[in-house]
């Protein structure tokens, strides 16, 4: 296929549909150190929806709730619970990006449209991807405002303790059994992306469950979207548990990078973020598996941080528990020290930890 005629510079933002955006925004500010930077709702003339924009480093997280009954957002929340609706890409041309995607077989969510306010104009468009999830294209070269036209700056009096998060490393999509390859094909055909990394059920399995995963990346590899599906095991895979509660495919986790995972996790734990526990036995074998690293293993053990390596270096990672009552979306905190891997060496320990939580929920 011919070359993709537009450029994706990186993630622009991720938008979640939630039941109570006001309270959710408080959670992400007070526990994860995001700053509330923009708002739209009744006070800005929006009669049907309210959105809070949270920022830290290069990460923009938008939380949106309906203000009235019978909205698409309300239906989304009823079916899926709080969840990730849109993964938005910053592009050089949102019209060409949409045209090309449609030509290559994508379904439109909305056609290119121009939004304007006193700070300039942006062009945005969107296409559908797995489940009810969408990818929007944002072109903002003629815009100087804080987020998008129609959003009001928030004058902050509240001091938020930053947790040193830097950017979105990857966003993961969970698919029902047997659909992973079809979704990866979609990313190949519609976007011209390539397979960056993959694991199969022989690599990742516990006594109870296993998964397959293929990481899709765009040309400049600024965007990485791992696509998972459950594989057969003795009991219900954690991917299947997600599918059951989300009632569809959807975004399983957002991985946020930091330059100092020990500091970040320390602060988040103090602030009340719940992370998946890692057994002490994991750290007994760590040095043998990974070799010498800069971090103190006792510190990593105290905080529950996992480590993996590949031929280029190592990486440190940890996963939160689900961020809402349904066992669906969670976040990962990641620090890369040379490694581009997705933590294959940790999947077993991670799965066993998730399964202990699944057991508590009566879903294993
Ligand atoms: Fe991840």
The answer on pLDDT for 264 being more than 80 is yes
Structural domain contains residue 352: yes
The span from the CA of 301 to the CA of 286, in Å, is 10
pLDDT at res. 288: 87
Counting residues of the chain whose pLDDT is more than 90, the rounded percentage is 77
The Å distance, Cα 170 to ligand 1 centre, comes to 7
pLDDT at res. 279: 84
| Structural domain harbouring 136 | 8-153
The Å distance, Cα 55 to ligand 1 centre, comes to 20
Q: How far apart are the first and last CA of the chain?
A: 44
The residue-averaged pLDDT of 207-221 equals: 85
pLDDT at res. 203: 64
List CB contacts of 181: < 8 A, sequence separation 6 or more. Answer: 214
List CB contacts of 58: < 8 A, sequence separation 6 or more. Answer: 10, 11, 166, 167, 168
The residue-averaged pLDDT of 121-134 equals: 98
The residue from 101, 124, 153 where one domain ends is 153
Q: What is the dihedral of CA 170, 215, 91, 110, to 10 degrees?
A: -100
Structural domain contains residue 353: yes
Task: Return the higher-pLDDT residue of 197 and 338.
Answer: 338
Structural domain contains residue 225: yes
Say if residue 201 is in the same domain as residue 325. Answer: yes
The Å distance, Cα 183 to ligand 1 centre, comes to 18
Q: How many helices (H) and strands (E) does the chain have?
A: 10, 17
The answer on pLDDT for 164 being more than 70 is yes
The residue-averaged pLDDT of 149-166 equals: 86
Say if residue 316 is in the same domain as residue 184. Answer: yes
- Could you tell me the pLDDT band of residue 175, with boundaries at 50, 70 and 90? very high
pLDDT at res. 120: 97
Structural domain contains residue 159: no
Structural domain contains residue 2: no
- Could you tell me the pLDDT band of residue 62, with boundaries at 50, 70 and 90? very high
pLDDT at res. 202: 66
Say if residue 195 is in the same domain as residue 116. Answer: no
The span from the CA of 74 to the CA of 298, in Å, is 46
Say if residue 41 is in the same domain as residue 141. Answer: yes
The Å distance, Cα 146 to ligand 1 centre, comes to 29
pLDDT in tens, 69-120: 999 999 999 999 999 999 999 999 999 999 999 999 999 999 999 999 999 9
Please check whether residue 148 is in contact with residue 122, taking contact to mean a CB–CB distance below 8 angstroms. yes
The Å distance, Cα 331 to ligand 1 centre, comes to 8
Say if residue 90 is in the same domain as residue 184. Answer: no
The residue-averaged pLDDT of 113-141 equals: 97
The Å distance, Cα 298 to ligand 1 centre, comes to 24
Say if residue 262 is in the same domain as residue 296. Answer: yes
The span from the CA of 148 to the CA of 332, in Å, is 27
pLDDT at res. 54: 96
Say if residue 32 is in the same domain as residue 146. Answer: yes
The Å distance, Cα 254 to ligand 1 centre, comes to 7
The Å distance, Cα 255 to ligand 1 centre, comes to 5
Please check whether residue 275 is in contact with residue 321, taking contact to mean a CB–CB distance below 8 angstroms. yes
Say if residue 199 is in the same domain as residue 69. Answer: no
pLDDT at res. 206: 66
Structural domain contains residue 341: yes
The residue from 127, 153, 179 where one domain ends is 153
Cα 351 → chain centroid: 19
List CB contacts of 179: < 8 A, sequence separation 6 or more. Answer: 130, 229, 249
Structural domain contains residue 3: no
The Å distance, Cα 198 to ligand 1 centre, comes to 12
Say if residue 239 is in the same domain as residue 293. Answer: yes
- Could you tell me the pLDDT band of residue 1, with boundaries at 50, 70 and 90? low
The span from the CA of 8 to the CA of 221, in Å, is 10
The residue from 153, 185, 217 where one domain ends is 153
Say if residue 90 is in the same domain as residue 174. Answer: no
Q: What is the largest CA-CA distance in the chain?
A: 60
pLDDT at res. 351: 75
Structural domain contains residue 279: yes
- The domain total for the chain is 2
The Å distance, Cα 206 to ligand 1 centre, comes to 18
Say if residue 229 is in the same domain as residue 350. Answer: yes
pLDDT at res. 354: 77
The Å distance, Cα 253 to ligand 1 centre, comes to 7
Please check whether residue 167 is in contact with residue 56, taking contact to mean a CB–CB distance below 8 angstroms. no
The Å distance, Cα 155 to ligand 1 centre, comes to 34
Q: How many residues does the chain have?
A: 364
- Could you tell me the pLDDT band of residue 364, with boundaries at 50, 70 and 90? confident
The Å distance, Cα 4 to ligand 1 centre, comes to 27
The Å distance, Cα 108 to ligand 1 centre, comes to 28
pLDDT in tens, 21-37: 999 999 999 999 999 99
pTM for the model: 0.94
The answer on pLDDT for 232 being more than 90 is no
The Å distance, Cα 187 to ligand 1 centre, comes to 18
pLDDT at res. 118: 95
Secondary structure letter of residue 151 according to DSSP: P
CATH code of the domain containing 78: 3.10.180.10
The Å distance, Cα 334 to ligand 1 centre, comes to 8
The Å distance, Cα 215 to ligand 1 centre, comes to 10
Say if residue 120 is in the same domain as residue 182. Answer: no
Please check whether residue 95 is in contact with residue 112, taking contact to mean a CB–CB distance below 8 angstroms. yes
Q: Give the number of other CB atoms < 10 A from CB of residue 86.
A: 20
CA atoms within 13 A on the CB side of 111: 0
């Amino acid at each position: 296929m011919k070359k993709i005629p537009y450029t994706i510079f990186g993630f622009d933002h991720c938008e979640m549909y939630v039941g109570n955006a006001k309270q959710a925004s408080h959670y992400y500010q007070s526990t994860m150190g995001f700053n509330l930077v923009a708002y739209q709702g009744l006070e800005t003339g929006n009669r049907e929806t309210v959105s809070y924009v949270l920022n830290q480093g290069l990460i923009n997280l938008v939380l949106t709730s309906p203000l009235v009954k019978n909205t698409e957002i309300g239906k989304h929340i009823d079916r899926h619970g709080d969840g990730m609706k849109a993964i938005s890409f910053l592009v050089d041309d949102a019209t060409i990006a949409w045209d090309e995607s449609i030509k290559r077989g994508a379904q439109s969510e909305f056609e290119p449209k121009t939004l304007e306010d006193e700070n300039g104009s942006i062009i945005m468009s969107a296409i559908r991807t797995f489940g009810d999830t969408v990818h929007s294209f944002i072109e903002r070269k003629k815009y100087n405002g804080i987020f998008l036209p129609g959003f009001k700056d928030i004058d902050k009096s509240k001091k938020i303790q930053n947790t040193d998060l830097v950017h979105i490393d990857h966003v993961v999509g969970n698919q029902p059994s047997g659909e992973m390859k079809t979704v990866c094909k979609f990313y190949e055909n519609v976007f011209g992306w390539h397979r960056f990394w993959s694991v199969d059920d022989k690599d990742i399995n516990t006594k109870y469950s296993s998964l397959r995963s293929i990481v899709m990346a765009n040309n400049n590899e600024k965007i990485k979207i791992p696509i998972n599906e459950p594989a057969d095991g003795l009991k219900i895979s954690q991917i299947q548990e997600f599918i059951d509660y989300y009632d569809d495919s959807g975004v399983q986790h957002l991985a946020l990078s930091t330059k100092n995972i020990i500091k970040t996790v320390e602060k988040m734990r103090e602030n009340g973020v719940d992370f998946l526990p890692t057994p002490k036995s994991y750290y007994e074998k760590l040095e043998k598996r990974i070799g010498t690293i800069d971090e103190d293993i006792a510190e990593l053990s105290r905080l529950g941080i996992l480590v993996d390596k590949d031929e280029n270096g190592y990486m440190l990672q940890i996963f939160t528990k689900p961020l809402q009552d349904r066992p669906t979306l969670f976040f990962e905190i990641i620090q890369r020290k040379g490694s581009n891997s997705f933590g294959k060496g940790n999947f077993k320990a991670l799965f066993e930890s998730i399964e202990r939580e699944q057991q508590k929920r009566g879903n294993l």
